[in-house]
Structure 1
Amino acid sequence: MLNWPQRFNIIHGIARGILYLHQDSRLQIIHRDLKASNILLDTDMNPKISDFGLARNFVGHDTTNKTKKVVGTHGYISPEYAVHGCFSIKSDVFSFGVLVLEIICGKRNREFSHGGHTDNLLGHAWKLHKEGRSIGLLSASLQASCVVSEVLRSIHVALLCVQHRPEDRPTMWSVVLMLVSEGPLPEPKTPAFFIGESCSDHESLPSVDEHAITLLYAR
């Protein structure tokens, strides 16, 4: 029911909301459970981030923490949090990247299926990007209203956000700037939870931990 300008406004609004939590709020917050059902829309379709039951605050540059109890929603949890219980602002960045791909595709990451392969939404988006066909991720309902350059940039930024290693992911400040700028973007690395058909060459498996969580995630 939402056209592309509305969805792009939602994407940008979510990014600015997370940036506020990470940087501008009096209590700097890591949300830890960013997902589609926790993004509410007002009458003007402006996004509001909700449900802070799992949120944790941090001070200054102390942005990384560890827990023995991993909580959150599969499909949005970053690999370092799912495997080691380590969460940070980059965990929220990962969840945001998943959200962006879902908004563009119109399908949930965990429920995504494709007749040509068994990859999840992240893997599908990655394959299309490597083949230069990222626009193929766009929902058919958006074709009439989309701005191709905005769609491609949004997908590219999302892939930067879902990279396996936290240090490779951009900050939300960089994400907000990249979404509205027209400059060149860095090339993303292989996303988390992606094996691919050529997993025997290990290029798509940066670590044993990723391989383990990929199998766990698939089940």
Structure 2
Amino acid sequence: MSGSNSSNPAAGSRNIGSNSHDDPVELTIHSLPDPATASAQKRRGRLGMLMVVLVCAAPVVASYFSFYVLKLHGRAIGDLIMPTVDLPAAIDLHDLDGHPVKAESLKGQWLLTVVQDAACDAACEKTLFAQRQLREMFGKDRDKIDKLWLIPDDGAVRPELRKAVTEGVPVTVLRAPRAQIEAWLKPAPGHGLAEHFFVIDPMGRWMLRSPPSPAPLDVKKDLDKLLKANAGWDQPGRP
């Protein structure tokens, strides 16, 4: 009979793609997130972000600690600059060969800075010598300090002087327009920029001005205090 070869449709459907007629149907149930767990994860994320911010802010905190907790103000021989003055990002810096230099490259190290004309007379040479001696006075900490000579004019530097400032640990010699230097660094009233040492911190902020024509030992005493106050985050060598 024509109906003798018919089969049960339900049984046929169970055979397709299955190794067993009796395999149970398995369902996976996903639980909803625990509100308490999600809240804890969010708190940990915020705490991690706060720690990153605190690490980045450490140099600023250290500087303010040195000013207000250790109370260097009033005990410094030179003039503490409060508030500090940031190195202008747009300052037009060039090396002696005329190549542009980014202001950002000066950060990462204490800068013992002088401003002297390219002609560099006897008084200028004496200042550059004192700058070199000052750095050497710091012994094992001297690698935390760079020497910077800013030239506010386009005059030529004598070959013998140029050679002298590159011997040993070289002086970083950069030109910048006088107006831009004067907008950043200021001499004491009645004096000129060339009479001072200016101390720039590793964040690029001018924070100390020596007395006019200072004794090197006096400048060292002030720098000693600043280096000790910031010893926790200051590292030798510019990145």
TM-score higher than 0.5: no
- The structure where strand makes up a greater share of residues is 2
Shorter-chain TM-score bucket reads under 0.3
Q: Larger Cα Rg: Structure 1 or Structure 2?
A: 2
> TM-score scaled to structure 2, two decimals?
0.20
Structure showing greater relative contact order (alpha-carbon pairs closer than 8 Å, 6 or more residues apart): 2
- The structure where helix makes up a greater share of residues is 1
